[in-house]
Amino acid sequence: MSYSGVKLPEFDTLVARHTAAATQMQELAARLHAELAGAGLDTTPAERIRKLAAQVGQEAEDLRKRQSIVREMERHKIAFGASTAAGSFITVPDSLREAQGQLDGTLAAKAAKAAAAGDKNALKQLQAYAAKAQDSSFTKTFLRQLGAKGMTQVSAAIAAQLRADAAGGNAGASAKQAQEAMRLLATTLAKGTNPKDPAYMGDAFLDELVKHGRTEFKVDGTTYFGYQAQALIWRAGDGKPPFSEKFMQVVGRDAIVFEKEKFQDRWAASKDAIGSALGSRQVPMADLATVLGVARWMIPSTPSMGPAKQPVSQSPHRGGSAVIDDLFHAASSNAKSAQALLNHTPAGWKQSVLSYMLTDRLGAFHFHGNTDPFAEALRKATTGKDSVSLSLTTEALNTLKVHADKVFRPDDNDRLTIADRKLYDELSFLRRPVGSALASHIDQVYGTYITKSEGFDGLSKAELDRLLVLVSSDRDAAVELQAAEAARVVDRVNDHYPTSGDKGIKEQLIPEAKVFGHLVEARRLALLANAWDEEQTKKDVKDTLNSAFALFTSPIGGLGTKVAGELGGLVGGKGAEVAFDKLSAYIVNRMIQTSVTSGEALRTAADQNEMVDWLMQSAVISARIATGEWSEEAMRDAKGSTYVTDDQPPKLKPIHEIMADPKTFDDFMEWARRHSAIESTSNELANTVRTARDKTHDNLNITGY
């Protein structure tokens, strides 16, 4: 890059003279115009000069901006100057924006250093730069001047400031400034450690973060490891921008290893005879805000991320957070980052980070109870369509199956019971993400029960049954799983129908009915194991299925998203041109939605088995309607109805006409149901669901139902 800068005092003279020139040229242009016009001459020369004057004026303005940046740099003694024989040169970036970013970055870094030294006003100043953090030249300058060590110490100083407030009877007084400042640190750190960001500081900066993460520091008499302060930065991020995969590979993984190095002896002691007798708990490495007792002022009270409909975790928090919790918070906004942590076995370890978190370190999540970040990171890492998602899901299931085997045991009456309540409780925060992972990989759930070869590696049917019971005690997890299976049913019918019609449809549906049977029974057993009574359970099992149907057809559900864009085309009169599977999907979506709203399926189905059967029938009838082929008998029966023409024999009206009127559509559906061959296979499907239930019982050695 070529050198860019200004020479003093020549530059100041240039600014003054160029500014004056602009004014002088404007006057010249005006007077010349008057003279030429007065003499009846062509005014073009005056007009050209007016344009030149405007351009010179614009340049003069840019020059003044550059000059004010140079002055600010001199005033704060941050100019890179050099006196040469040719004059006094000051280095200034070529682009104005970059120059401004560099100046602001330098001033912000100065404020941060002052804040670290205990200057309260500096914390206020720092807050003012929050909006600048997205600018790459700002970020680069800020990080370069603070360094990894400075970043560590500044966040520690901010936490110490909050503690000083509390000690002085002004608890929370600096909370807002502290949060803004922390967000600034988080944004700059995330950008500066992402190789894809223009502000990337290079690999050496990541190594510096590791080095200082492992170093002991002191703030106001409290000793801490660098990572305990850096964790506050991780936790302050809001995912925009996310911390990169690279950051997690270098810093994140090391933080996990570091905690284990420092704490494993203590953890072993808490588990030995004396420790257990004393009720010792597994204490994780807390972040510095938690150590200082200021976590609640440090962290904005925004609910943790997760599906919008999910309530914020109800678990009793101690208002604190472990370094590792903060790390998973930072990883949870990006699937690749979350995978970089979990899908890795550190040097010298016998297990992956994922397995370690689910076994040896499991108890440590519960010391502070800040379990949402890990749950969200796990969900993010396992719910994609990529192969890493699947292999992490498979690993999680194979790790958790050992727990599930300890948790659930047959009791004296051969009914499933929770044999290890403590472990069951410790696993509860994993139900939702593991449920999502299973739902995302529903094809492997199917494979495990039906084809075996396409199932989860290393997982038996019985083990999957037990895991399903574990996750299904979380209602949302059960709903998500059943909605995923409902999507499989509809897809399968729509794949089969255009080529084969009713022929062989039963054979397609029976294996799906089996899978449904396992899913539905898992929910039932989970409730019974939690001491629900039969009546309550019976009702909930049906309700859960109904909720699954509702989710499936909602705008975010598997079917809802598929038909969302089609509605306009269908109702707009293009029904005949819509492809079979779109039309069929639209009809079944409408059918299920209507039933969910009116409670029809809930009312008419005697039990969960019949509800599954109802879903399957709906899928088949919709496919049939979409193909539009009906027997003579059916058409005779339709005579006089609003959905047929007056012809002899009557013909069906175009589908978009039928769907345009709700009453006509309902009548049509009812007629279509009456004339569908699927009714005859109905018992068989319901029986299949029932048989799958018995199979589940056999798998789990429970026969007392």
Partner 1 sequence: MPGPDRELMQAAVQRIQKLSDDNWWVLHASCRLMEARAWVGPTGDRFGQAVHNYQHELHMMLTQAVTMAKDAAARAQ
Q: Does 632 bind partner 1 (CB under 8 A)?
A: no
* 17 belongs to the binding site for partner 1 (CB under 8 A): yes
Distance CA 190, CA 683 (A): 58
Are 154 and 185 a contacting pair, CB within 8 Å? yes
Q: How far is the CB of 80 from partner 1 (least distance, A)?
A: 14
Nearer to partner 1, 44 or 314 (CB): 44
Contact segment (CB under 8 A) with partner 1 among 34-42, 130-138, 160-168, 527-535 equals: 34-42
φ/ψ (deg, to 5) at 702: -125, 115
| Residue 583 near partner 1 by CB under 8 A | no
Q: Does 457 bind partner 1 (CB under 8 A)?
A: no
Residue type, 300: P
218 bridge partner residues: 223
Q: How far is the CB of 29 from partner 1 (least distance, A)?
A: 9
Question: Does 25 contact partner 1 by CB under 8 A?
Answer: yes
The nearest distance, CB 38 to partner 1, in angstroms, is 7
Site residues for partner 1, 88-147, by CB under 8 A, read: 92, 94-95
Candidate list 38, 169, 555, 568; residue touching partner 1; CB under 8 A: 38
- Residue 429 to residue 414: CA distance in whole angstroms: 28
Judged by CB under 8 A, the stretch of 36-44, 214-222, 297-305, 351-359 that binds partner 1 is: 36-44
**Binder of partner 1 out of 56, 156, 434, 596 (CB under 8 A):** 56
Which of these segments, 54-62, 317-325, 564-572, 578-586, binds partner 1 (CB under 8 A)?
54-62
Question: Is residue 5 a contact point for partner 1 (CB under 8 A)?
Answer: yes
Nearest to 516 by CA among 323, 686, 284: 686
Pick between residue 13 and residue 701 the one whose CB is nearest to partner 1: 13
Tell me if 58 contacts partner 1 by CB under 8 A: no
Judged by CB under 8 A, the residue of 45, 172, 307, 573 near partner 1 is 45
Nearer to partner 1, 14 or 128 (CB): 14
Contact stretch for partner 1 (CB under 8 A) within 17-25, 363-371, 472-480, 569-577: 17-25
Closest to partner 1 by CB, 87 or 573: 87
Contact between 55 and partner 1 by CB under 8 A: the answer reads yes
Tokens 């076994």 map to which residue?
359
Site for partner 1 contains 11 (CB under 8 A): yes
How many H helices and E strands in the chain? 35, 7
Amino acid identity for residue 12 in this structure: D
Distances (CA, A) of 83 to 9, 10, 73, 99, 103: 12, 14, 16, 21, 21
CB of 45 or CB of 662, closer to partner 1: 45
Query: Can residue 4 be called a binding residue for partner 1 (CB under 8 A)?
Result: yes
Lay out the site mask for partner 1 across 192-231 (x = CB under 8 A, - = otherwise): ----------------------------------------
147: enclosing H helix or E strand: helix 136-167
The C-alpha atoms of residue 392 and residue 425 are separated, in whole angstroms, by 23
Does residue 173 interact with partner 1 by CB under 8 A? Answer: no
CB of 83 to partner 1, least distance (A): 14
- Which whole-number Å values give the CA distances from 453 to 174, 459, 464, 485, 699, in the listed order? 59, 11, 15, 19, 19
CB 316 within 8 A of CB 222: no
Instruction: Name residue 671's amino acid.
Output: W
Q: Does 85 bind partner 1 (CB under 8 A)?
A: no
Please give the distance of CA 456 from its chain centroid, rounded to a whole number.
Answer: 24
Among the residues of 309-386, which ranges form H helices? 323-331, 335-342, 353-358, 365-368, 372-382
Count CB neighbours of 384 within 10 A: 19
Do residues 203 and 148 touch, judged by C-beta distance below 8 A? no
With H, G, I as helix, E, B as strand and everything else as coil, classify residue 261.
Answer: helix
- Assign 305 to helix, strand or coil: coil
Q: Which residues make Cβ contacts (< 8 Å) with residue 457, sequence separation at least 6?
A: 394, 398
Q: Does 72 bind partner 1 (CB under 8 A)?
A: no
When asked if residue 536 is in the footprint of partner 1 (CB under 8 A), the reply is no
69 counts as binding partner 1 under rule CB under 8 A: no
**Residue 79 CB, nearest distance to partner 1 (Å)?**
15
- The answer to whether 113 touches 158, Cβ cutoff 8 Å, is no
Percentages (nearest 5) of helix, strand, coil residues in the chain? 70, 5, 25
Residue closer to partner 1 (CB basis): 92 or 626: 92
* Cβ-based nearer residue to partner 1, 16 or 423: 16
- Nearer to partner 1 among residue 36 and residue 571 (C-beta): 36
The SS3 call for residue 410 is strand
- Show the 3-state SS of 186-229: HHHHHHHCCCCCCCCCCHHHHHHHHHHHCCEEEECCEEEEHHHH
Give the shortest CB-106-to-partner 1 separation in angstroms: 19
Minimum CB distance to partner 1 smaller for 3 or for 535: 3
Q: Give the residue ranges of DSSP H helices in 383-504.
A: 387-407, 421-427, 431-440, 442-449, 461-472, 475-500
Query: Does the protein bind partner 1 through residue 46 (CB under 8 A)?
Result: yes
Q: By CB under 8 A, is residue 64 in contact with partner 1?
A: no
Q: Counting contacts by CB under 8 A, is residue 40 touching partner 1?
A: yes
Q: Which is nearer to partner 1, 60 or 122 (CB)?
A: 60
Interface with partner 1 (CB under 8 A), residue from 86, 273, 277, 347 = 86
Alpha-carbon distance 654 to 101, whole Å? 64
**Contacting range for partner 1; rule: CB under 8 A; set: 14-22, 123-131, 295-303, 682-690:** 14-22
Tokens (6 digits) for 152? 């560590």
Choose one: 87-95, 109-117, 633-641, 690-698; the region binding partner 1 (CB under 8 A): 87-95
Its sign, for the CA torsion 354, 357, 358, 359, is positive
Number of residues counted as binding partner 1 (CB under 8 A): 40
**Sign for the pseudo-dihedral over CA of 53, 54, 57, 59:** negative
Q: 8 or 462: whose CB is closer to partner 1?
A: 8
Nearer to partner 1, 57 or 447 (CB): 57
Binding footprint of partner 1 on the chain (CB under 8 A): 2-7, 10-11, 13-14, 17-18, 21, 24-25, 28, 31-32, 35-36, 38-42, 44-46, 48-49, 52, 55-56, 59, 66, 86-87, 92, 94-95
